[in-house]
Structures are given as C-alpha cells and as structure tokens.
C-alpha cells in the first residue's frame, strides 16, 4: 500500500492535467465531434508530459531545484519575469475555472443554487489546503479523482468499436472540416502540456523530500504511472462520448452532460461515481493551480515555501496560494462561464509554454549540473522533439481558436 501512496504525486499532477474541468468537457466534445480520431493526441501528449515531468522530477531530486528556480537561473531575471507573469495569469484563470467547476459539481450533487456554492467550494479548498499536509492532499484528491475510472468501466460496457479505437491511434483526418480537427488536436495537446503541471510536480518532488538514487526510480515510476492513468481517463471520456453522443448528435457543453454519459451504461451508481470523481479531480486541479502559483512566486523571489511546513512556516507562500483561491472566487462569482475561462487560459499559456520547458530541457541535459544523471540520448531526443511540438502548438493555438470560433465551426 505504501508503494501505491508513493506515486500519489504523479497521480494528482496527472489528474489535474488530464481531467480538470476544461479537459473533461474538451475531451468529451472531441469524442462527440470526431469520434476516435484524436485518441493519438492523448497518447502523444501523455508521452510528452511523462518525458518532461521525469526530467523536472530528476532535476528536483538531484539538484533540489524546482522549475521556477531553474527558469530564473537559466533565462535570467528579464525573461524569467515575463515567464512568471504569463504563467501566473494562466494559473489564476485555470484556478478560477476549477473553483467554478467544483461549485457546478456540488450543485449537481446537492441541488443548491450555484452562486452560494462557489463560496462553499472556496471554503472547502481553503480548509483542505490549510489543514492537510502535502502528502494527504496528494492522496485524497489524487486517488479520489481516480473514481473517474467509472468512465473506463462505462466505455468497456458500451462495447466500443475496437477497430476504430485502434485506428484512432494513427493520426488521420476523416472529417469535412480539417480546421476543427486541428483545433481539437492542438487543444488536447496544449492542455496536456499546461505548465502548472510541471511547476506542481517538480515542487512536489522537493516537498516529498526526494533523494537520489532511490527516488530517481520513484520519479520515473510516478511520472509514467501517473500520466498513463490520466491518459486512460481522458481516452475513456472520449470513447464514451463517441459511443453515446455521436449517434445522437449531442454536443456536450456542460459537465453534467459528460457525467450523464456514465449513467447510461451503469445506472445511478455510475452517475454518482462520475460526479464524485469529478469533484475530487477538479478540486485537485484547483489545488494544483493555486499551489503552482504560490510555488512560482516564492521560487522567483526567493521566499520560503513548501506545504511540508505548517502555513506559518512559509508565510508569504501561504498568503499567495490563499490569494489565488480568493482571486478565483472573485472571477467566477462575477458570473463568467468557467469553461470559457479555462479555454482562455489555454490561449495565454502560449507565452508560458516554451519559456517553461526550455530551461527544464537545458538543465536536465547539463552534466555540470546533473553529473551522471544528465539526460541520456533517448530523453534528450524526445525532449527536443517535444519542444518543437510545444512551439508549434503555441503558435497554432490562437489562430485556430479564432478561425474555428472555439471549435464551434
């Protein structure tokens, strides 16, 4: 059991990265619009985030340097500050979307009005992060989010077309609107690489006190197993949406529509598990983003940080994550649609994406820094290939968003 708990950092980082509010709706929309055509994008994205998470976890383990420490050191103060601004905007917007998402799921579960539930969501998140130690945050929200496995069970029960699913692993365009295909492909890949995942993951490695050589293996296992689980959940949602929504021409624009997809094959228990899984996963993503924002500020300015201490042990760090939740509350209470906010944050991640991943790749490959644990040929090749992909995604995201009217055509 201890071994299972050890990978909880990867599970929480992946849950936040793969099945947050935006991803749940986006993957379901991709499945409902294009069937299995974009399964490959989830797999390609998962391998990429595994490669980079392993790298930044290794840097955290060997050099005790989380990502934003490395960003400032390698890019310098000027570019580092630009990266900080862009990434903090993305963190804040994503956190707002997640807080709104938690309130939406609470409304589905308890039937109370949405706005008061935003305050309840804020209170639940603040209390959780204030009182729970880091390892329990990982366990409760990471493993709680795994209730979304109900979508994998639902997918199997729906007896999907395995031939079409296998064909989906090979990129192919089978739609009259290639731009829509590109929009969803870039969206899925872009969401997979959202920078807060690596901020959270690398700082989490330091929080968990990783030391070489034992924890280098744990880092590899955590990155691979965590993100593989996230990818399975993503693909399951896509499959369920393809099986249920394509024949009926349904466009799932709401979380509730996606949750109902688990009810069709599994009954009310399926719906309840799907909603509970969403509650934990989206809450986990909210915590990922608020802590990522606090890690970034503290590491860039050199403040004390860490959830392994009590809140008073890292005061400005504590004030910052609480401020992120507060800001998120103000954004969603204003009435803005959380799903629109999350799509907006993907656009702004354009600046932060390459500036976050370049320093990780440079430091992980620097033998002066990493000694015998610097990137080998495989990690280096994959790292550079994925960096090119990240730059292409960054450049393509905004034009595709505009040209396809956010995927509406």
Partner 1 sequence: MSERTQLDLVLRVHDQQIVDWAGRRCGNVDDVAIDGEPGGSATVKGLLVGRDATRRRRPRLLAFVAGPAFGDAPEVEVSWSEIEDITQVVKLKKDATELGLGAGDDRAAKWIERIPGS
Please give the residue ranges that form the binding site for partner 1 (CB under 8 A): 63-65, 69, 72-73, 76-78, 80-82, 84-85, 130-131, 298-305, 310-312, 314-316, 318-319
Q: How far is the CB of 344 from partner 1 (least distance, A)?
A: 21
What's the token pair of residue 252? 């799932």
**Cα separation, 80 vs 69, whole angstroms:** 10
Q: How far is CA 219 from CA 14, 89, 127, in A?
A: 13, 28, 29
**Cα separation, 204 vs 330, whole angstroms:** 27
Q: How far is the CB of 297 from partner 1 (least distance, A)?
A: 8
Give yes or no for a contact between 24 and 255, defined as CB atoms under 8 angstroms apart: yes
Question: What sections of 193-336 are H helices per DSSP?
Answer: 196-207, 214-248, 255-301, 315-333
**Cα separation, 235 vs 188, whole angstroms:** 11
Q: How far is the CB of 355 from partner 1 (least distance, A)?
A: 13
Which CB atom, from 301 or from 384, has the smaller least distance to partner 1? 301
Which CB atom, from 84 or from 198, has the smaller least distance to partner 1? 84
Which CB atom, from 263 or from 290, has the smaller least distance to partner 1? 290
Q: How far is the CB of 103 from partner 1 (least distance, A)?
A: 24
Give yes or no for a contact between 138 and 12, defined as CB atoms under 8 angstroms apart: yes
Q: How far is the CB of 30 from partner 1 (least distance, A)?
A: 36
What's the token pair of residue 257? 């529509």
Which CB atom, from 98 or from 215, has the smaller least distance to partner 1? 215
Which CB atom, from 235 or from 314, has the smaller least distance to partner 1? 314
Which CB atom, from 246 or from 319, has the smaller least distance to partner 1? 319
Q: How far is the CB of 304 from partner 1 (least distance, A)?
A: 5
- CA angle at 248 for the pair 246 and 254, rounded to the nearest 5°: 75
């Amino acid at each position: 059991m201890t071994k299972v708990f050890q990978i909880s950092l990867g599970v929480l980082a992946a849950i936040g990265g793969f099945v947050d509010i935006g991803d749940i709706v986006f993957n379901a929309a991709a499945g409902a619009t294009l069937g299995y055509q974009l399964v490959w994008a989830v797999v390609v994205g998962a391998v990429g985030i595994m490669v980079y998470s392993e790298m930044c976890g290794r840097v955290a383990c060997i050099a005790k340097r989380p990502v934003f420490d490395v960003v400032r050191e390698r890019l310098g103060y000027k570019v580092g500050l630009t990266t900080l601004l862009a990434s903090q905007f993305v963190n804040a917007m994503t956190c707002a979307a997640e807080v709104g998402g938690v309130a939406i799921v609470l409304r589905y579960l308890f039937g109370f009005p949405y706005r008061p539930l935003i305050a309840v969501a804020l209170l639940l998140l603040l209390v959780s992060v204030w009182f729970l130690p880091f390892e329990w945050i990982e366990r409760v929200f990471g493993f709680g989010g795994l209730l979304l496995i109900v979508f994998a069970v639902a997918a199997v029960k729906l007896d999907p077309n395995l031939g079409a699913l296998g064909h989906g692993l090979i990129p192919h365009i089978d739609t009259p609107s290639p731009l829509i295909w590109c929009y969803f492909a870039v969206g899925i890949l872009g969401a997979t690489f959202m920078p807060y995942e690596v901020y959270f993951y690398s700082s989490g490695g330091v929080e968990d006190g990783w030391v070489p050589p034992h924890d280098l293996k744990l880092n590899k296992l955590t990155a691979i197993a965590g993100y593989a689980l996230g990818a399975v959940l993503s693909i399951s949602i896509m499959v369920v949406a393809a099986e249920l929504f394509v024949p009926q021409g349904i466009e799932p624009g709401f979380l509730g529509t996606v949750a109902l997809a688990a009810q069709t094959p599994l009954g009310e228990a399926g719906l309840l598990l799907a909603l509970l899984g969403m509650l934990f996963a989206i809450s986990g993503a909210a915590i990922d983003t608020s802590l990522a924002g606090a890690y970034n500020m503290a590491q860039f300015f050199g403040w004390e940080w860490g959830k392994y201490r009590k809140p008073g042990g890292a005061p400005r760090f504590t004030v910052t994550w609480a401020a992120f939740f507060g800001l998120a509350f103000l954004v969603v209470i204003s009435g803005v649609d959380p799903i629109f906010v999350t799509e907006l944050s993907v656009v702004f991640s354009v600046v932060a994406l390459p500036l976050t991943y370049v320093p990780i790749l440079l430091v992980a490959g620097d033998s002066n820094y990493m000694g015998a644990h610097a990137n080998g040929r495989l990690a280096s090749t994959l790292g550079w290939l994925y960096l090119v992909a990240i730059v292409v995604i960054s450049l393509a995201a905004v034009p595709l968003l505009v040209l396809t009217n956010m995927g509406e055509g």
